[in-house]
Amino acid sequence: MSTTTPAALPPTIGLPTTIGLIVALAGPFLVQFVLAPLILQSPLRPTNAVLLSQGMLWLLAGTVIAISRWWERKPWSWLGLRPISWRAALLAGVLGVVLVAAVAALTAAVHRLMPPSDGGTVESVASSGPAWLLLIIVLTASVTEELFFRAYPIEHLARLTGSRWAGALLGLAAFVALHLQGWNLGHVVGVVLPLSAVMTGLYLWRRNVVFMIISHFVLDLPIVLLALGVLPPL
């Protein structure tokens, strides 16, 4: 009789995780490229239409969380949700401010190489709605984008494939592609792409979605401040 123990099979990407990845990575495209334009063409007031589209993103986030927690039966750490100290939270905020400065520098460089078009710039986005609505959009983006494009794919694929890079590159590509709508090409290539790469690196370093949400919120907050007239145009 053989006394050897069969080698453990490597984990596989099952149906729940596949569905979770589809919802996280493809769901935002469905909202932004299909549902949101239809809603904006409806009889709803523009403000209500925007709020409804933002609500859809929160619904997607809730779906991703439900899949991970109750279908896959994974702990919160598989969503990047871990305790965070006040020092780490402060560091996240400071890094967000550093990234704001980087955005300003990159935007100035991009404007020199590729003069901005009529739309798709930080200034045009900041003037697209009232400050309170932009604050909701910034908060929604900070939470949902970090969950969809960093926490869920990186944490799941790292554990199931043994490599953090599969989820990191997949999330990075999806994040940049999503911003092709609403931003001009120069901003996407010169600002969104490098900033997204840095944010992905920060997640790989900290592995904490709350840390990333704080940094992301601070990074996007100047849009609201521009709308309020607190900051001068970039």
Q: In which residue are the tokens 């799941």 written?
A: 156
Residue 88 has pLDDT above 70, yes or no: yes
136's CB contacts (< 8 A; 6+ apart) are: 51, 54
Region of 2 (left: φ > 0; alpha: ψ -120 to 50; beta: rest) is: beta
Contact indicator for 229, 111 with CB cutoff of 8 Å: no
Residue 7 has pLDDT above 60, yes or no: no
User: How would residue 225 be classed by pLDDT, with cut points 50, 70 and 90?
Assistant: confident
pTM: 0.90
Model pLDDT, residue 164: 92
Residue 189 DSSP symbol = I
Torsion angle of alpha carbons 103, 175, 200, 127, nearest 10°?
A: 30
